[in-house]
Amino acid sequence: MKNFIKNIPAQIAGTYTIMSICFTIISFAVGAETIPVTRLAELFLLSVPGGIWMEFSFGTCFIKRMADAKRACIFVVPFAAVTFICGVLFRWITELTRISTYIKFAGIFLVCLGISILFFEVEHRIRGKKYTEKLKEYQKGGKIND
């Protein structure tokens, strides 16, 4: 539990960074030239439950032995619901009666998920095999000296 609490700030920071990058990419792709300051605060508010849920889903404090695909499902489905609720509350999503709104939300969410997976894979490759070996040792119940 101590590791869970200890890792949350880093997960929130990582989640916020990815959200900001995705938002910037999408904003520029649709022709926006400015980003409202309030949007950054809203993204931070969304990154708090996102970071906590990410640590729960991908950390090793609660779920020690599970395939990454299953962990991704444990993370994505609830986080998509939380993101949609925040989208409605923050008025990112306003046309709730049109099916195209839900299709756009799902598409944007999946694109952002793809971008975040890409960033985390790059990070994982940068950290290299040493990180993977330590993670496997930890999951088997061994000690980590570093």
Quick: pLDDT tens for 54-104. Answer: 888 887 777 777 777 788 888 888 999 999 999 999 988 888 899 999 999
Is residue 85 included in any domain, yes or no? yes
Return the exposure string of 58-95: e unless at least 16 CB atoms fall within 10 Å of the residue's CB, then b. Answer: bbeeeeeeeeeeebeebbbeebeeebbebbeeeebbee
Is residue 127 included in any domain, yes or no? yes
**The domain containing residue 7 runs over which residues?**
2-139
Q: Please give the tally of structural domains in the chain.
A: 1
- Chain mean pLDDT for the chain: 84
Is residue 144 scored above 60 in pLDDT? no
Task: Give the C-alpha separation, 75 to 116, whole Å.
Answer: 13
Percent of the chain with pLDDT over 90: 29
Is residue 143 scored above 70 in pLDDT? no
Give the residue-averaged pLDDT of 22-35. 86
Is residue 144 included in any domain, yes or no? no
Q: Tell me, what's the pLDDT at 36?
A: 86
Task: Say which residue the tokens 């998920």 belong to.
Answer: 113
124 φ, ψ (degrees, to nearest 5): -60, -40
Is residue 53 included in any domain, yes or no? yes
Is residue 145 included in any domain, yes or no? no
